[in-house]
Structure formats: C-alpha cells, structure tokens
Structure 1
C-alpha cells in the first residue's frame, strides 16, 4: 500500500495505490498531512480498503504527483551518514548523527522542476531514503521502539547549493539546502514493511550513473536515527527525516555540478523513482 497526493500544487487529491490500482481517499480524509497521521489516518485507510469502500480515482495516471505529505511540521536531515560519502567529502565518519534542517517550503513533487537559485555555481543532488513519522515520539527507550512511530518510507533528493552550505561563515548547512524546489519528495509513502537496512539507492544525471549504493553503508541506521532524534527533540506525526546520501555526488570532485537543462533521476528499490528537470532561476 502506498499513499499519494495527486493533482496541481495546492489542489492535490489524497490517494492510495494498491498494486496497479489507484483509489480515491477523499471519503476517508481531506488530505495526507500531520493531522491525518495524528488521528489514525493510516488505520482508517486500511479499514476502508479492506471493506471495499474506496472508489477508483478516475484519470489518476494523468495527474501530477505531489509531495506525499502536506505541510510537515519539520523536515529533519542527517548529514554524512554513509561511510563512503563521508570519505569523499574529506571527513572522518561522524561519531553521532549530524542534524540540520530544510525549510518545508523547499518540498516539491517527485517529478517537479528543480529551480537553481540566482548565481548558482555548486548545486548538487543527493539521493536519500526518507522516513515519515506516524506518531509522536519523545525520548524513546531504545531503537527497537522506532518501528512503532514510523508511518512509512519514501524517496528524497536533498538538493544542496554547496557554496551556501559550506562557503559561508559558521557552516550554514540549512541555508544551502532550503531554496524553493530543493526538496523533491516521493512519489509515494510506502506503508508496507520494508527492510530499510538493505535497499539499493541510485541516482543518474542526464542518464549517466552517479550514485549506486545501498543503505547497508549507513553509519546510523533508520531505527537508531529515529531513537536518537527523539532524545534531542519531539518528533511529531507527519514530520519527515532525510537519512543521508551515499557517495557519488558532485562535491566529490568526480562530476560537474548541476546546470540549466540537466535531468536528475533517483530510485530506491521498492520505494519508487523520481525525475527532475533542472532549470535556471
């Protein structure tokens, strides 16, 4: 089962994909947002589907794929969480997770354009596994409790303007990662159990391979990250967590940074695929 939001920006329709069928969720909820998760929306969707009360969404294949969770309260991100990526960045593997934030206003649909900010010189792609939080979590006792507060998983591109992220005094990571359109998310939230410790994660630019790795290379796994985050802040339903990117980004020096006209594609096995055209702002 996968949750989607389909339609033009600001008018997306909540939907459920089961196998090859897309069902209309408007009889169950107005939207897939923090309130949906906080009030047991996932259980209501499962019950409605099992009871056969959901209609097919006419014309779904022709609709834009929107951000799969509307207006998350927080977009939390973990830096240098893959051993090989930390090495290509010239850094020692972190001893604890590196936390930064993206503005939720940067989020766009999986196939929406990425718009480069004026003067962009070092805009980079970052394929990432993204966790969607389904229940409030504060100071979980152990990583083993993390599964109980995770609603599902999705795909993200943590687009980053490196000259703003790393070239500013004080290391302004969030500043380089929050430009409008710098957070493609989706296409869907996969609700079914997924072995997030062993997922192939890949990216391409203009059809040429860039990242080709696995979540096995994560320094801190998903359950550990959710547990650790719950120690330093309160996770709320609908929050999203970008869990880090593997090696193969432009920051490595092996590839050019993004330019007007480029096409970025990202896939994670079992979670779907994204495709963004890069355009000058």
Structure 2
C-alpha cells in the first residue's frame, strides 16, 4: 500500500470534454471556472471535488472524494487511511484506542436467531439484518475498531511505517491487548490465566501443509506453529466455510511447493489443557487471512 494509494488526496482527476474523459492536474484547475466542470476519480470514475489546499500548511491543491460518494470497491484511492493521514487531519495521535468487535459471522448469526424466534405471523419485524457499522465514541478522539484480520494487517503495516518512538507506543496498544503474534503465545496463556483476555482477539502463526488432514468441524483442528515449543495453538473452524477455506489454503500451499503458510486469525478461547507437559490453547477460529502486504 503506497502512500498515495492509502490516502484520499488525489493529485489529478478526470473531467469530460467532447464526450471523452480528459485528465487534469489539481494544480492546473482554475478556481474561477472549476464550478463549470465535474471531476471524476482517475481509477473508478466516481465523482470527486477539487480543493485549494491549506495556505497555512503550504499544501498544494488536490482532489478528494465527494461528500457521501465513496470510491468503488477495489479503487486505488478507496483504501484505508494510514496513521500519517490521521495525524495530519487530527493533529495528534494521543488517546488512540483500538477495540475488537465480535466476528461478523457471529453478529449475523445472532441477528438471524432473533428473527427466527419471532412468531410465525406475517407482520413486519424490526429485527431485520442491517449493515454493521462502527460508531465513533466522541469521548475518545481516535476510538477505532479493528473488525477483520485484513484490518489488523493494514494497521500493523501502517504502524511499522512510523518513527520509532511512535511505533513502539502504538504497538504496545495492540500487542497483548487485541493481538498476540506467534512470538507472544506465552502472553496469551498468561492473560487467559489472569482472566483479562478479550472474548474475541487476533493471533497469528504458521500452518503446515499437512494440517488439512486434521480439519473437520467435529473433533478436527489445525495446529499453529509459534516460536515457543512449550505452547501449542490448536484452532477449530467455526463453520464449514472456514474449514473448507483452511483446507484449500493448505492444499494451495502444498501445490506451490511450500511447507507452511503464515496466517493471521480472529479467534476466541475454547479451552486450555496440559498434555505431555505442553500447554495447548484451543481456539475457535472465525476468520483467517494471509498477510499480503
């Protein structure tokens, strides 16, 4: 994710001239006549607006998305903001808070249960499933929820791009709070024993290509490899879709002539047992993803 792709500020855009899209740079737009033109994103063709920039910041003119008009899914300019942009907009990263919500499959399942419990009459119900949004807490200026493994990987990558003092500060707010890397299984075990672990959290590890043999919804599990041989993670798929996807992952890894794949997972604690003096943390996995970034 490059800095220009991660942002909302676009150096150029398109406008329509003689029935064709024509490219124009933001610095070349005439402020007096820009009201006569509509501008569009160079990637997804959604409407954007021109900004003169801020003289106090000595920033050049740029294009940004129109209010209420989002970029199309997959658009290079529609990707998440990074921490540098938040710093620019808000002026500070103090009180940055990371949270984690129940997995979307759990939220959706809960909504479906509510609907199914309603009597069978045909009157309309107010319990229909709606899109799940993130409400911003006005008391916390940067209250943010990381919903998916992909969100987590984006956030980690953004943190890694910061200067060292800020990087350390931000990592300390994620690792051991909502994320336990494959080097932090001991911390995960400690927090479970201290009963301070969140119900839903993220972890990561290496999955071996042979794990597909063990995966099933009943008793099967996949073992994740970390750096501590005295602690093992056993992950149990939440549903058939996840079980199937994990099997496909290990099969594709084998086809690529690789021995293992590094993945991140969104999980909850199922059980913790001791076997042959090894601590086994059993986890229910709701979602997983590879770190593509």
Name the TM tier (shorter chain).
under 0.3
Larger radius of gyration: 2
* Length-normalised TM-score, structure 1: 0.22
Greater percentage in helix: 2
Q: Give the TM-score, by structure 2 length.
A: 0.22
